[in-house]
Every structure is written in structure tokens, then in C-alpha cells.
Amino acid sequence: MGTLKEIEILVPGKLHAATLARLEALFQVHQCRAGFVADLDEAVRRNIRGIATMAGIDRAGMDALPALEMIANFGVGYDAVDIASAVEKGLMVSHTPNVLNEEVADTAMGLLINTVRELPAAEAHLRAGKWVNNGPYPLTGATLQGRTMGIYGLGRIGKAIAKRALAFGLNIAYFGRTKQNVDFDYYSDLVSLARAVDTLMIVAPGTAETANSVNAEVMQALGADGVIINIGRGSVIDEPALIAALSDGTIRAAGLDVFADEPHVPDALLALPNAVLLPHVGSASLACRDAMGNLVVDNLVGWFEAKTPKTPVPEMG
């Protein structure tokens, strides 16, 4: 076995700067635009054994790299990696669970409070001079108090959100594939969960199973005081149905950190006063991204030194 410095790693698209620096110190690193792996010179492509990526990789990208062994995904969600192709090709895939749980849960609660108590709009009122000229910001129609939060996806991040929501005095219920050994009420389908709660916290990953699962029926079931928060993946929500539900009062408000076609946010959503919109910042603190990036590098080192990455994705068995 050679040294790590002989191993060639490809970074398609942007990567957190500290992560790139650590990778460059350890490996031979090549970079290309996201989605343009096949455009690299054959002489470069044939020696690439690992990938570190925030942007993901598709089948064509994998096919263009004949010596590829490992894909280290920057992020707990790895929907941008074509996992079926990776499994079929016998590639190792890792992700970055746990190190972002608390940061994302903090963001989720901040987004919930901003949405329910209209804090961004209240600040805009102050900055526009309206407090002085027109008087106080109107009382908010909604309160956090007395709410029941239905968590869609009670995994590691969902549980960190639940812990915080309990401290705020909220009741909690959840929906997921399996009933867990927790004290919260379980619902085996999303519509029943939505009927039982007034606040839907989406933490679900972007998979074929979850795609558009928060649809018009779920929004109807949530009801007129309903609030939807999405910190998981944009694909989980039927976005046109959400726009309609926010426009006609089927639900009260939504707080979104993720969107169907990032970084593009539909004009109809931008125009809605009852939508609080964030540019996918759930884990976006320097400290959290440093921790995620270190795990990306540790996974690559673990694979190339001992075939034991720290955090392989569940599909690796």
C-alpha cells in the first residue's frame, strides 16, 4: 500500500474551504465543476480513487472514473449521490451524521419561532421606520404556546428538535416508517399525524418514498392554524400545493430552509407574506461545517488506510 499523498481525490463543485485545505494537505486533489466530471482529461480521470462532494455525483460521473472506490458526501443527506448506482458499482459511500444534529435543531427552532411570531417581518417593520411613523408591529395571530408539533422523520436531528420543543412546552407526535421506543404519540400515516397536530416539522430525507409526500391532503388535514417547517429536503413538499395552501388560508404559515430546485425559489413563494424563507442554512455555521468537513476527510482516510470509513451510509450494510 502506498501513502495517502499518492491517492488522487476529485472535488466536483464547491467544498468548504477548511475541508479542501485539509484534503490538499493529505491527498492529491483535483477539482472540476459540479456535473462536469466526464469533461476532465482522461489522464486525470483514470487515477481518481475518491470523491469529496457537497454537490453529489450522478451515474455518468461515476462511469467516467474507472478507478473510483469511495464517495465521501459532505452532508448527512446524500440524495445528490446516485446511491443505487454506487451500490451496483460496489463503491463505498459515506456521509456526515451526528456532528450537525444540534446546529440543525437550533436552526429548526429559530425558523419555527420566526414563522409563528413573524419576527423577520417585525424587524423589517422597525428597519423601515414604521415603528416610529405608524406605531407598533401588529400582534401576531399565532403563538408557539399550546402547539403540538408533528415530527416527520424522528431520526437523530428530529430527536434533537423534539428535546428543544419539549423545553418550549410543546406537545410532540411523530410519523416515520417505524414506531420507536419513545414517549411521543406515533402515527403510521402522514395525514393522520397532520390531523392530530397544528405544526408539522419536516426532517425527512429526500428519497423516492418521501417525494411530494407533504401534499394538498396533508395540508388540508393540518388545518387553518397549521404551520409547516421544512429543514429536511425541498423535494418532500409538493411546492405548488404549498403555495396554494398558503395563498388561500388552508394553512397559516410556512418556514422553509430547503426548496425543490435550490437555489431557485419560486416567485410565488417569495411574494407570500406568510412564508419565512432561508437559503439552506440549517448547518451553516463555521464550527458545524468544520466538523462535517473533518468527518468527510476522516472517512476518506479511514477508507484508504484501512477500508473502514467512520460513517458509511446505511446502504453499505
Range 40-69, binding ligand 8YV (CB under 6 A): 54
From the list 22, 72, 74, 107, which residue makes contact with ligand 8YV (rule: CB under 6 A)? Answer: 74
Of 120 and 155, the one with the shorter C-beta distance to ligand 8YV is: 155
* Residue 280 engages ligand 8YV in binding (rule: CB under 6 A): yes
Give least dist CB 277 to ligand 8YV, A: 15
From the list 150, 158, 282, 302, which residue makes contact with ligand 8YV (rule: CB under 6 A)? Answer: 282
From the list 7, 83, 93, 100, which residue makes contact with ligand 8YV (rule: CB under 6 A)? Answer: 100
* Residue 311 engages ligand 8YV in binding (rule: CB under 6 A): no
Of 155 and 223, the one with the shorter C-beta distance to ligand 8YV is: 155
Q: Which stretch binds ligand 8YV (CB under 6 A): 72-80, 124-132, 185-193, 235-243?
A: 72-80
Q: Which of 6, 24, 262, 315 is catalytic?
A: 262
Residue nearest to ligand 8YV (CB): 75
* Residue 75 engages ligand 8YV in binding (rule: CB under 6 A): yes
- Compute the distance between CA of residue 78 and CA of residue 59 in angstroms, rounded to an integer: 14
**270: CB partners within 8 A, 6+ apart:** 277
Cα-flanking dihedrals φ and ψ of residue 230, to 5°?
A: -125, 115
Which residues are annotated as catalytic?
Answer: 233, 262, 280
Binding site for ligand 8YV (CB under 6 A): 54, 74-77, 100, 280, 282-283
